[in-house]
Amino acid sequence: MQMRSLRWARPTLLYALVALFLLWTLAPVLWIFVMSVQPEINYVAVPPQLNLQQVSLRWFWEMLSQQDIRDALRNSLIISFMTMVFCLFFGALAAYPLSRLNMPRKNLFLTLSIMARMIPSMVLIIPLFLLMRDLHLLDTYMALIITYSTFLLPYVIWMMKNFFDQIPYSLEAAARMDGCSRLGAIFRILLPSIAPGVVATAIFAFIGAWNEFLFGLILSTRNSMPIMVKISALVSASFHTDNSLVAATGVLAILPVVVLVFVLNRYIVRGLVEGVKF
């Protein structure tokens, strides 16, 4: 009898802990969904007075009707996508020699590249602002793409290098025997053969750019303002902030990443957990 109860206890405890952890991480996210479909008065009350009859999508329609929010969404998509492409292209070109060529000091380079990432963003904000101003890049996509790439590229290089490391030398040799140049071999054979890893890296770069706030806040004013900055602008824009509208915009900002991860889940897990098999 005692044995049996013990056998139940372990998984129960385990699942309880998992549930607790999920509640801990997902509660704020759930709450924002709730907020986005309820009038403000219902959830600011203590305790909250949630009412199913008052569930409404009108804040979503209101949000989508606002040109500036739509613009911000478009800006974020363009900037994140371009950052991803930029990081993948140059990340692959940097990772290949770091993985394959016999270069002096390549580990030093790898260390330095990651060290650049260890500097707090706040420290860089002022010099970056001045640089972008002098280059006349303030409030442009380019400013944000370049800035995001400075901190995403090191990660991308590291990830891609690890994937390249797993490719047997002979695969590249075969490509070159078949008529590829080194560069041709990278793009026609090596990258496609580590596709799961490339996809995982791409999503990582996309999310990194999508979720960024601080640089976006300082380097954009109107034309290139990303959605994350727009949300905070909504909060401070007027005397009365419609929190349901802010929540709806928040949900919108979460969606692309969630969709991306769900659709490409298979690749992400394979790329990050299993690595690439040969």
- Residue 148 CA neighbour count, 13 Å, CB half: 33
**Cis-peptide, bond into residue 168, ω within 30° of zero:** no
- Binding another protein (rule: CB under 8 A), the pick from 15, 31, 61, 278 is 278
Check residue 177 for interaction with another protein (CB under 8 A).
yes
Check residue 189 for interaction with another protein (CB under 8 A).
yes
Check residue 120 for interaction with another protein (CB under 8 A).
no
- Binding another protein (rule: CB under 8 A), the pick from 176, 257, 264, 275 is 176
Check residue 170 for interaction with another protein (CB under 8 A).
yes
Sign of CA dihedral 184, 190, 193, 198: negative
Residues in 195-214 that interact with another protein by CB under 8 A: 195
User: Between the CA of residue 78 and those of 44, 148, 248, what are the distances in Å?
Assistant: 35, 13, 21
Four-point Cα dihedral 232, 234, 235, 240, nearest 10:
170
How many angstroms separate the CA atoms of 80 and 224, rounded?
12
Check residue 263 for interaction with another protein (CB under 8 A).
no
Check residue 174 for interaction with another protein (CB under 8 A).
yes
- Binding another protein (rule: CB under 8 A), the pick from 171, 214, 233, 264 is 171
Residue written as tokens 């911000």?
A: 72
Check residue 105 for interaction with another protein (CB under 8 A).
no
- Binding another protein (rule: CB under 8 A), the pick from 67, 102, 236, 238 is 102
Check residue 1 for interaction with another protein (CB under 8 A).
no
**For another protein, which stretch binds (CB under 8 A), given 26-34, 149-157, 174-182, 201-209?**
174-182
CA nearest to 73, candidates 221, 262, 256: 256
Which of residues 118 and 177 has its CB atom nearest to another protein in the complex? 177
How many angstroms separate the CA atoms of 29 and 186, rounded?
40
What residue ranges bind another protein (CB under 8 A)?
Answer: 102, 168, 170-171, 173-180, 189, 192-193, 195, 278
